Structure 1
Amino acid sequence: MAIVKNEPVFEAGDNDYTKPRHIIVEGTNGEIGYDLGKLAREEYGTKLCAYDAPIYAQARREYLARNWPEMLEKSQGVLRAFGMPEDDVVYDGTTLPYDLYDSQRGASLGANTCSAAVLPHEKTDTGATYVSRNFDLMAMVLWSELLGKEPPQGAYSCWERGIVLETRPDKGYRTIQVGGHEVLWPWIDGINEKGLYVTAFHDPWGIGGETSPSGGMNVSGITLTQSFGYILSTCATVEEAKHLILRNHLMQVLINAHVMIADASGNATVFEIDQTTQAYVFVDRVANEPLFATNHPLHTYPEPSTYPEFDMEAEHGSFTRQIILRDAYAKLKPPFKREDVVAMLDQIHCAFIDDEKAEAGPKERTLINVNADLSKPEIAIRWYLGDVGPIEGTNKVKTRMSDFFTFGF
């Protein structure tokens, strides 16, 4: 058995929104794919994504054989778990989606979402790289309710069944990926045994198939969300990750995003795909300075003097959050501590009474908060448990979050 652990992260109450599980897998990539495929089919109700035509499956298999053979081995294990031949040309074995209903190609997510900050290691108390991020998304059934459809009976809401997946392959780095809606490569945060950290944020300027299935269709190369696992399993540094990205063909499905990558040495970058040219570009952290990411492309709007006109009353607006983070950073006095970066992200915690006024999505909440000290190959996570009620005199809602739980190697 490749699955050596599958347990609740904590004992969730009946009224707790999130009930995440900690899963550890080890073995060959084929064994890992097979056992995760069985788990996804039997416990999460996964149905494989279908390709539009056999040529996409055939070309994709050829691409993976050349560029990412470990994923090809995993996908072959997945197909076996579903009783299909390894060279099946109908179904996509590279993704194990769950709890995504009424997927629709090309609809717009229509919301601002996540945020993150990297503190300059040159000014921290131990010289370590400190990072923190908020994962914000709609606390509703995806994609049904977001698209105005009646969800299926018994449907699970966004991130309600979260996963922390630790993978210990016989080839490649050990990784921890945090997310939901995907058993094989949970998106949207991760760290590896070398202290390389990857996270992502919605990019409304991006071009792709938002709210679409996570694979199959006319997908070629690697989807952007799959690339997180690729980076973590093969790269130790930001520089290595950049080269890996530039050598590959990445497609946007599910959600259009830009990606933050940070390493133990203090290097950090945000990878973006230019809307006009589709060029792959990087915005690097400057020495002695922090790096912030929200939802606009940093290569287009790098700092406040380049921002378009926006309303600071819209508390969850992408440019507003950048200003809040910059103001919070300006008030800090070095040496910075790990708790400083967590406190910064708490200032832009997403939970509002009037979502439209805040420029948040409907029922949008900070569903997880993550922080890490990249000198240690570990990651700390807390989950959204529910609302407490409005905060008087503000447009904010007080929420219940779990304690932080730490996962590492």
Structure 2
Amino acid sequence: MNSITQVAGSTHDFQLVRHLETAGSQFAIGRAMAEEARERLGWAPQPADPTVNRARMTWFERNWPQHLARLDGVADAFGVDPDDDSLTLDGLSGLPMACSALWVPPSAAPDGHGRIGRNYDFFTITMSELMGAPPREGELPIAARPYVITTRPDEGLASVVITMSGLDGCMDGVNEAGLSVALLIADATTAAPPEDTSPQVGVDSVQLPRFLLDTCENVAQAKQALLGAKQYDHGMPLHYIVADADGNAFVWESERIFEVGDAPLCVTNHLLHSHPDPMALPEDTDDTLESYGRLRSLYERSKGATMSGDDIRQALEAVSPTPDKAWRTTWSTVFDTHDRTLSTRFYLGDEAGYSGELLFSAAR
């Protein structure tokens, strides 16, 4: 079963958001994603270093077989040999900007539901402009066509994710076991578009959340998967907040685990290992994108408080970029690890504001 529906915005708004639902074998899911990527994004398999690509496929076979099976479906959609090492069948990606996230454990929620709230903040410009060139004719802003993707494989974990552009990775999501993951820039002061985006062995920054959602049911499994995985970031380090239905959470950054136990956990765009005390953060500069101030605000709102989903939403609104900034909160989401849902709204433009709240479930 495959379906594609428009769920928010239009061609007249900043964002037009589609929801891709696909079920069946991983092969069929991969084929459906490839067909959508070809039709909507103009994507096609790209040339690859055969030696590196063969090593990549071997790594997927051992560590992420769900992804490898989907790549066979991509090959089928394009009529190419899945064993042709001269072509890469994945690798679409996007770049996060100045994001904020807050984990509220079940003990701090009035209904006992653990939740992650996150703002996905990004520039409202094109990729050409981001790279310092004028936009090409008809070129859309990078974040103008996000997708919500629901996958329900015959074998494996169902999930619902949000992605800015590429369909084989994601920026955040939740699976049917209640595991939730969101990515953020790890250090705003050094963030820059990567110069070399050639695929390497392992999982890239945008594939990593989907890798966890495909292979892990809880935080303990996610820690083991991350500690054992080969990862690469093209020189733009990210960190990831991960939480599960049992009320556990941690942040993965610089191949290290940061956790605070049964307490709220705030993440913005600086390394938590470098500044573990949210009450002793330095002042922001022009280069930090208000990372310290945003985390301080989230911490002060959540410290010792009981927070519902609405309270989390209000906290996220308080740290959204103001209209004078060059970026916007392009979507804002609350993940409920108990219900296995994400509730999100998308940025349609300064005049149109945001879409209504949209609820999606990973539960079967």
Q: What is the TM-score when the length of structure 2 is the normalising length?
A: 0.92
Which deviates further from its counterpart, 291-300 or 255-264? 255-264
Counterpart AA for 2:144: E
What residue ranges of structure 1 are gaps of 5+ in the alignment? 101-108, 274-279, 356-362, 389-398
Deviations 1:195-218 (A, max 9, x none): 11100101237999844576xx25
The answer as to 2:315 corresponding to 1:348 is: no
Separation (CA, whole Å) in 2 of partners of 1:403 and 1:263:
26
Separation (CA, whole Å) in 1 of partners of 2:205 and 2:329:
22
The answer as to 2:150 corresponding to 1:166 is: yes
The answer as to 2:185 corresponding to 1:202 is: yes
How far off its partner does 1:78 sit?
1.1
Deviations 1:353-386 (A, max 9, x none): 1x3xxxxxxx210000000222101110100011
Q: State the match for 1:191 in structure 2.
A: 174
The answer as to 2:16 corresponding to 1:19 is: yes
What residue ranges of structure 2 are gaps of 5+ in the alignment? none
Separation (CA, whole Å) in 2 of partners of 1:170 and 1:4:
13
Task: Classify 1:94/1:209 alpha carbon distance in 2 versus 1 (closer, same or farther; 3 Å).
Answer: farther
How far off its partner does 1:189 sit?
0.9
Separation (CA, whole Å) in 1 of partners of 2:80 and 2:274:
45
- Counterpart selection for 1:382 from 332, 345, 348: 345
Task: Classify 1:183/1:50 alpha carbon distance in 2 versus 1 (closer, same or farther; 3 Å).
Answer: same
Separation (CA, whole Å) in 1 of partners of 2:200 and 2:108:
43
Query: Contact 2:283 / 2:293 at 8 angstroms: preserved in 1?
Result: no
Deviations 1:227-247 (A, max 9, x none): 211111121111111111111
Q: State the match for 2:70 in structure 1.
A: 74
Q: State the match for 1:291 in structure 2.
A: 265
> Which secondary structure state, in structure 2, belongs to the residue aligned with residue 145 of structure 1?
helix
Task: Classify 1:72/1:115 alpha carbon distance in 2 versus 1 (closer, same or farther; 3 Å).
Answer: same
- Counterpart selection for 1:46 from 43, 46, 53: 43
Separation (CA, whole Å) in 2 of partners of 1:333 and 1:307:
21
Q: State the match for 1:268 in structure 2.
A: 249
Alpha carbon RMSD of aligned pairs, Å?
2.5
How far off its partner does 1:90 sit?
2.0
Q: State the match for 1:406 in structure 2.
A: 359
Aligned-pair identity in percent equals 28
Separation (CA, whole Å) in 1 of partners of 2:191 and 2:301:
33
Counterpart AA for 1:122: S
1:147-166 paired onto structure 2 within 5 Å: 147-166=131-150
Query: Contact 1:371 / 1:380 at 8 angstroms: preserved in 2?
Result: yes
> Which secondary structure state, in structure 1, belongs to the residue aligned with residue 129 of structure 2?
coil
Number of equivalences = 362
- Counterpart selection for 1:32 from 29, 33, 42: 29
The answer as to 2:301 corresponding to 1:328 is: yes
Counterpart AA for 1:378: T
1:61-210 paired onto structure 2 within 5 Å: 61-96=57-92, 113-142=98-127, 144-185=128-169, 187-204=170-187, 210=193
Task: Classify 1:174/1:221 alpha carbon distance in 2 versus 1 (closer, same or farther; 3 Å).
Answer: same
Deviations 1:129-174 (A, max 9, x none): 12211000001112x1112112222112122111000011122100
Counterpart AA for 1:6: I
Counterpart AA for 2:126: V
Task: Classify 1:314/1:63 alpha carbon distance in 2 versus 1 (closer, same or farther; 3 Å).
Answer: closer
- Counterpart selection for 2:281 from 307, 311, 315: 307
Q: State the match for 1:220 in structure 2.
A: 201
Query: Contact 2:108 / 2:305 at 8 angstroms: preserved in 1?
Result: no
Task: Classify 1:125/1:309 alpha carbon distance in 2 versus 1 (closer, same or farther; 3 Å).
Answer: closer
Task: Classify 1:43/1:218 alpha carbon distance in 2 versus 1 (closer, same or farther; 3 Å).
Answer: closer
How far off its partner does 1:49 sit?
3.7
Separation (CA, whole Å) in 2 of partners of 1:166 and 1:79:
21
How far off its partner does 1:75 sit?
1.2
Separation (CA, whole Å) in 2 of partners of 1:120 and 1:13:
36
Q: State the match for 1:5 in structure 2.
A: 3
Q: What is the TM-score when the length of structure 1 is the normalising length?
A: 0.82
How far off its partner does 1:80 sit?
2.6
